[in-house]
């Protein structure tokens, strides 16, 4: 086996090693959403977990693995059953970031924060 980062992903293996592995593009805003492709390889590339495949024109392409169905859905995705696009912890981090940016902007302008505090 070749050393990291060129090792084959355990997630991309099947009991029948000769069977092609298909995946679907699942990213909500990607133009290929819903299209299926045959996995060529999966490995860290450009510092990210990526899948590579040949498109309809025979061109070798690459996408983030998280934008595809190559992995099983995580526990949140299974529990949300498609009803929630955002996780609570992600929303809380977003709120903290917005508050931080708002405070920094108000400090630059010399304006006090009039937002009610909890």
Cα-Cα-Cα-Cα dihedral sign, residues 55, 44, 48, 79: positive
pLDDT tens digits, 1-16 = 444 444 444 445 444 5
pLDDT tens digits, 76-111 = 777 777 777 777 778 888 999 999 999 999 998 886
């Amino acid at each position: 086996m070749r050393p990291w980062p060129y090792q084959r992903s355990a997630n991309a293996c099947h009991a029948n090693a000769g069977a092609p592995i298909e995946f679907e593009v699942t990213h909500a805003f990607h133009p290929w959403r819903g299209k299926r492709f045959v996995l060529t390889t999966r490995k860290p590339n450009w510092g990210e977990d990526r899948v590579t495949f040949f498109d309809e024109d025979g061109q070798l392409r690459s996408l983030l693995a998280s934008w595809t169905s190559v992995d099983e859905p995580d526990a949140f995705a299974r529990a949300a059953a498609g009803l929630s696009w955002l996780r609570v912890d992600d929303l809380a981090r977003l709120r903290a970031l917005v508050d931080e940016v708002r405070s920094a902007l108000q400090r630059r302008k010399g304006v006090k924060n009039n937002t009610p505090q909890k």
